[in-house]
Amino acid sequence: MPERTPAAADQERRPADAPASLVPGPARLDLSPRGLIALQRTAGNAAVGALLQRAPAAAPPKADAIAGLRMLLRDGDAHGAIAYMGRMEPGDAGNALATGDLRGLAVKAFDDEEMAHAMYALKGGTLHQKLNWMAAEGSSWKLVRPLLVDPGVPDWQKTELYQQNYLRSFFSKICGDDEMEEAVGLLGGTLEAQLNWMFVEGTSVAAVKRRIGAHKPAGRIALYRHDYMRDFFADLVGDDGMAELVDLLGGSLDDRLRWMAYEDTNYAAVADRIRKASDTDYKTVTPDTRWRLQQDLSAKEWSRVEAMLDRGVLDAHEVDTSRKEPHWEKKDYTDPTSKWYVETYDVESKYQLERTRTELRVRVRIKFTGITPTAAHLKLWRDGIDAVWKDAFHVENADGKKLPIVFDPVFNAGNPHHTIKLVPPVEDKVTGHLVKGRADAGKWYAGPNANSVPPEDTTNGLSAAHEFGHLVGLTDEYQLAKADYERIVGPAPAAVEPPGGFTSHTIMGDKTGGAELRHMTEFVNWLNGRLLPGEKPYRAVAGPP
């Protein structure tokens, strides 16, 4: 290591905020009280300290260092004592600061600024010791700050201050909110230690955010171990404010929700954090945190949160729409002479859309009234719906993420979306057989044999699949006027509309085909309206993923 020159050593000792141009050379020193005050006013406290350290005078004999300072302080010679302290050896300076009666004498001899100048002048002792003397005298942030910015003060001397609650009280007395934030920034240390001092003094949300942002993730997460920190945060902010601050802190979903629940939270904030959690993190929420959340939410809201935590639900929506559907009908389809006329139907669609971490689910809760369906009836209808809708489509996006579209009819459900009345078959007047009539979205046939092949006495699976399409919002695609066909299906197969209109070859038309991609439009639009952060839009694709 190269030998340091006296000039370099002197530069190293100079407080950071003391401009070199304002520290006079030894030949021009004016150590009179008037000279010191003039220099302090023009160059600042740090410059006075540097001046005193460079004053050209012989160091006192080592054995007499403490005694000599005691004598000057007893005489009330503030100017002489400051100059004397600037010439003390580092070891003597530390001993002097540790001598209790000297501090008492200094408090009597010095005013606030003189005490600060004395501390700047000393070449030895710790920051803790110097602040003890200044606190005993009384001081100000303006006078304390030069000690904190002095590059010669090691970090450990700064961070050890946090262990002294009386120094926290001292800083709280001399600092305002902004000054305390600056003080802990200069002291360094852990985020917990810094916020502890700031909260005791009084602080702002903006200041807390700045301090959090100045620390690495590990330092932020460590706050969750301290309940008193949680209490400080809760006193400072409201529901949304706590949610925002825990986002800055990071940590697990359980960490964040635990603090949010302590403050009192709301469904929107909780749901948003669960959605943003990873596929593993959302499973870490403890029973205690769940219980606390349940106290803050309504029964309905908690049910949704439970589904998010237990089944990975990210979003859910109850759809309730109604519309009018006009298409061509005949009074008697067995009579070739029967005339076509336009019949307008009122159709209501209700269902639940549910996006989980692994699927897009379209659920319809159905309650049957009238005839009680047997297991054979239910199987016939479920098999028919599955044959058309199960594994028929999935969604995928540009990142290659895929979700199956799951169609889920829930029979005999509580809180139903739809009530379907089951009626008995009618007798065919020609054959005498019991046969089903024409089903619709609110009426199905349930015969004693649950038979879906001629002679059918029960609404068959294909009809159940068609009516299920209505329940989830799809329109009839048979016997449509040209304008309606092109609005619902696409280009008409012929320029001239035939008697009875146009019919598609799909499950919603003549039932000779299945569902098509366009039937997925509303479901995919809903999903794309609720994408996760950074998630790319989806499109419907035929078949399972």
Within a domain: 375: yes
Domain count of the fold of the chain = 2
Q: What is the pTM of this model?
A: 0.74
Spatial contact of 230 and 260, defined as CB atoms under 8 Å apart: no
List of E strands, 79-233? none
Check residue 393 and give left, alpha or beta (phi > 0: left; psi -120 to 50: alpha). beta
Rounded-to-integer distance, Cα 299 and Cα 280, Å: 26
Whether residue 24 is predicted with pLDDT greater than 80 in this model: the reply is no
Helices (H), 311-440: 375-389
Q: Place 66 in a pLDDT band, splitting at 50, 70 and 90.
A: very high
Within a domain: 88: yes
Give the CA radius of gyration of the chain. Answer: 42
In the structure encoding, which two tokens stand for residue 429, read together? Answer: 């007047």
pLDDT reported for residue 35? 55
Helices 112-121 and 33-43, packing angle to 10 deg? 80
Contact partners, residue 494, CB within 8 Å, separation at least 6: 502
CB-neighbour burial class of residue 367 (10 A; exposed 0-12, middle 13-18, buried 19+): middle
31 phi, psi to nearest 5 deg = -95, 15
Of the candidates 152, 175, 191, which is a domain's last residue? 152
Whether residue 440 is predicted with pLDDT greater than 50 in this model: the reply is yes
In the structure encoding, which two tokens stand for residue 215, read together? Answer: 């620390």
Spatial contact of 276 and 311, defined as CB atoms under 8 Å apart: no
Spatial contact of 435 and 464, defined as CB atoms under 8 Å apart: no
Of the candidates 100, 131, 152, which is a domain's last residue? 152
Report the percent of the chain where pLDDT is more than 70: 88
Within a domain: 522: yes
Q: What range defines the domain where residue 389 resides?
A: 315-542
Within a domain: 453: yes
Tens-digit pLDDT profile for residues 287-325: 999 999 999 999 999 999 999 999 999 999 999 999 999
pLDDT reported for residue 39? 54
Within a domain: 28: yes
Tens-digit pLDDT profile for residues 383-409: 999 999 999 999 999 999 999 999 999
Rounded-to-integer distance, Cα 183 and Cα 144, Å: 9
Please give the mean pLDDT across all residues of the chain.
Answer: 89
Whether residue 330 is predicted with pLDDT greater than 90 in this model: the reply is yes
Within a domain: 450: yes
CB atoms within 10 A of CB 220: 20
pLDDT reported for residue 334? 84
Residue with the larger pLDDT of the pair 32 and 422: 422
Of the candidates 117, 152, 187, which is a domain's last residue? 152
Q: What's the gap between Cα 69 and its chain centre? A: 59
Q: Place 12 in a pLDDT band, splitting at 50, 70 and 90.
A: very low
Within a domain: 196: no
DSSP state of 142: H
CA 161 to each of CA 115, 166, 168: distance values in angstroms, whole numbers, following the listed order: 19, 9, 8
Within a domain: 294: no
Local structure of 370: helix, strand or coil? strand
